[in-house]
A = this chain, B = another copy of it.
Amino acid sequence: MERFEPDARLTRNATLIANIGLCQLRLVDDSRWTWLTLIPQRPDISEIFELTPLDQTMLTFETNLVASSLKSVTQCTKINVAAIGNIVRQLHVHVVARNEGDANWPGPIWGYGEAVPYEEVVRKRLADTILKALST
């Protein structure tokens, strides 16, 4: 069995918040919206239905835990959850806090414009706040 190695395009400009069981949880460095990614630590998987049934259930649990924490941290209008992967095929799930009037509201975030990086202190504090919200 091959060893899991996250695709470099998913880790570059994305701060590791935690390993939460099945997935790595990362904060994407784009301050236009609070954008998290969950990367199941399984090699050679590009579709959710390729995971084992247990892993599928774990992914659902972790995704919903993260989504609900993100909602409580940001008090956003709507959470967007998506597994797209047209560009980076390694399975990853986006969990994004959206607000009326944000950069591409109500359109999707993927492929829209250029990322606006956080100031480092803001990024670290946000990652820390999300980690705390996950454990409460």
Q: Which residues of A contact B (CB under 8 A)?
A: 46-49, 56-57, 59-61, 63-65, 67-68, 71, 77-87, 89, 98, 105-108, 110-111
Contact = CB atoms under 8 A, between A and B. Distances in A.
Report how many copies the assembly holds: 2
Contacts of A67: 47-49
Interface of A is mostly: mixed
In order of increasing CB-CB distance, the 6 nearest A-B pairs are: A86-B106, A82-B82, A49-B64, A49-B68, A107-B111, A60-B60
Given A49-B68, A56-B60, A81 B83 contact: yes
27 contacts: A47-B78, A48-B81, A49-B65, A49-B67, A49-B71, A49-B79, A56-B61, A56-B64, A57-B57, A57-B60, A78-B84, A78-B86, A79-B83, A80-B82, A80-B84, A80-B85, A80-B86, A81-B82, A81-B83, A81-B84, A86-B98, A86-B105, A86-B106, A87-B106, A108-B108, A108-B110, A108-B111
